[in-house]
Amino acid sequence: MELHARYGGVVPELASRQHVEAIVPVLEEALERAGCTLESIDAVAVTTGPGLAGALLVGANAAKAMAYAIDLPLVAVNHLEGHIYAAWLADAPSGEDVREPRFPVLCLIVSGGHTDLVLMTGHGRYRRLGETADDAAGEAFDKVARMMGLGFPGGPEIERLAGQVSPTLRLPRARLSRPYDFSFSGLKSKVLRLVRGEEGPVPAAPELAAAFQEAVVDALVTKTLAAARDHEAVEVILVGGVAANSVLRRSLSERSPLPVRIPSAALCTDNGAMIAACGWWRLQDGEVARLDVDVQPGLRIG
């Protein structure tokens, strides 16, 4: 992220070049840490979408080369599905003795590019119930942080600042005709007007950050629990980069009448372990990709 911080966001071309430079050293380090060699692994799982095309191509081509060179199965993984399977690597919720999530499970995937509510009724079986109508939650955090003159990525900066106060300012929540959809553009516009002083004295930065974070978290938790109730889920999963936010984690866990499973913060942000976990389940079902599989930057789930 340091590479992109000076620009206030990810620059696709720079990301692709960095992937090219890092892919081999990262693979070598991963094998060394795992204490294995290429010849000792059983399959190669790789993200084929969604995401930035250039970065996806680097990973996909490296994975194809490995699979071809040592005659291994290649498993194509949806990045969003990978986030869900991070929950299979998480500890069981407090008081629960079930190691793996139980179906049907309601999944909230919340990241810089995606905010989706997905009902998962079995391995590989998804129904998307809701999505964002505009900005994803993580994107809204980044944009509001930029408005406030904070660093990138914006989520950790806003959480740090918001932790200094208890919010007294209340910001709006969007009301949409589709009950499980999200919208953060109006909230973002409200913050911009406040920062510009268009609605009176500019609120103190910690107060504004806390109010913004509270509004986002409230919308995410309220709609997630409504969807879980309406579709008779037995468990809730919270995944994606924004799931590292401690206020969101605590609020969902405290307000949910159902067990809530949340991976560690390290497994919430993009990581290879979640792709491997998803790839393992796909491999059990015999879902092996051809070596000419292409990337799909706009791939969806459900």
Give the model's confidence band at 5: pLDDT under 50 very low, under 70 low, under 90 confident, else very high. Answer: low
Q: Are residues 146 and 41 in the same domain?
A: no
Read off the DSSP letter of residue 77.
E
Regarding whether 213 and 165 lie in a shared domain, the answer is yes
Encode the chain in three state secondary structure.
CHHHHCCCCCCHHHHHHHHHHHHHHHHHHHHHHHCCCHHHCCCEEEEEECCCHHHHHHHHHHHHHHHHHCCCCEEEEEHHHHHHHHHHHCCCCCCCCCCCCCCCEEEEEECCCCEEEEEEEECCEEEEEEEECCCCHHHHHHHHHHHCCCCCCHHHHHHHHHCCCCCCCCCCCCCCCCCCCECCHHHHHHHHHHHCCCCCCCCCHHHHHHHHHHHHHHHHHHHHHHHHHHCCCCEEEEECHHHHCHHHHHHHHHHCCCCEECCCHHHHCCCHHHHHHHHHHHHHCCCCECCCCCCCCCCCCC
Rounded to the nearest 5°, which phi and psi values hold at 57? -65, -40
d(CA 76, CA 63): 10
> Domains in the chain: how many in total?
2
160 and 139 in one domain? yes
Domain that holds residue 253: 93-262
CA distance from start to end of the chain: 30
In the chain, the largest separation of any two C-alpha atoms, in whole Å, equals: 66
- d(Cα 45, Cα 250) in Å, to the nearest integer? 32
Average pLDDT over residues 188-201: 96
Same domain, residue pair 80 and 167: no
Tokens 């905010």 -> residue: 115
What are the tens digits of pLDDT across the range 133-175? Answer: 999 999 999 999 999 999 888 999 999 999 999 889 999 998 8
What number is the average pLDDT over the span 195-213? Answer: 97
pLDDT tier at 10, thresholds 50, 70, 90: confident
DSSP code for 267? H
pLDDT number for residue 15:
83
Q: Pairing relation of β-strands 125-131 and 115-122?
A: antiparallel
**What is the pLDDT confidence band of residue 3, given thresholds at 50, 70 and 90?**
low
To the nearest 10°, report the CA torsion of 16, 19, 21, 26.
Answer: 180
Of 9-18, 167-176, 211-220, give the lowest mean pLDDT range. Answer: 9-18
If asked whether residues 258 and 286 sit together in one domain, one would say no
Are 134 and 165 part of one and the same domain?
yes
**Does 47 score more than 80 pLDDT?**
yes
Same structural domain for residues 145 and 118? yes
- b/e burial code for range 156-188 (CB count within 10 A of at least 16 → b): bbbbebbeebebeeebebbeeeeebbbbbeebb
pLDDT surpassing 80 at residue 98: no
pLDDT tens column, 220-262:
999 999 999 999 999 999 999 999 999 999 999 999 999 999 9
Do 153 and 243 share a structural domain?
yes
Q: How far apart are CA 282 and CA 288, in angstroms?
A: 8
Please state the rounded mean pLDDT for residues 99-104. 92
**Are residue 130 and residue 246 in the same domain, yes or no?**
yes
Q: Is the pLDDT of residue 29 over 60?
A: yes
Q: Is the peptide bond before 50 cis (omega within 30 degrees of 0)?
A: yes
Q: What is the bridge-based pairing of β-strands 44-49 and 74-78?
A: parallel
98 shares its domain with 223 = yes
Across the range 112-120, mean pLDDT stands at 96
20 and 44, same domain (yes or no): yes
**Residue 299 CA from chain centroid, whole number:** 15
pLDDT at 7 over 70: no
Share of the chain above pLDDT 90, in %: 86
The enclosing domain of 249 has a CATH number of 3.30.420.40
233 and 113 in a common domain: yes
d(CA 83, CA 136): 15
Tell me if residue 47 falls in helix, strand or coil: strand
